[in-house]
Amino acid sequence: MSTTIEFELKSEFIPLIQLLKLTGFAESGAHASSLVENSEVLCNGQIELRKRYKVRKGDIISSDYFQINIK
């Protein structure tokens, strides 16, 4: 079962690994990096391998366990 949350972005963008830590879906920066490196994170339905990917309003970040809708 996956968890879906809405994340309100208050700036132009947020780096992907920072978003994963901030939302609690990664326990640490190393864990967030590992999720990305292991192709476990999708951005708008596509595997995202860039740890510093700039997540912007309208993006949907997901995995088998969560979905983050960026507002």
Q: Which residue has the higher pLDDT, 66 or 2?
A: 66
Q: Going by C-beta distance under 8 Å and a sequence separation of 6 or more, which residues neighbour residue 9?
A: 55, 56, 57, 70, 71
Give all domains of the chain, ordered by start, each with its CATH number: 3-70 (3.10.290.10)
HEC states along 10-25?
CCCCEEHHHHHHHCCC
Task: List, in sequence order, every residue forming a beta bridge with 69; answer none if it has no partner.
Answer: 6, 60
- Percentage with pLDDT > 90 across the chain: 97
Model confidence pLDDT, tens digit, residues 1-57: 689 999 999 999 999 999 999 999 999 999 999 999 999 999 999 999 999 999 999
What pLDDT is stored for residue 1 in this prediction? 63
The residue count of the chain comes to 71
- Say if pTM beats, i.e. exceeds, 0.85: yes
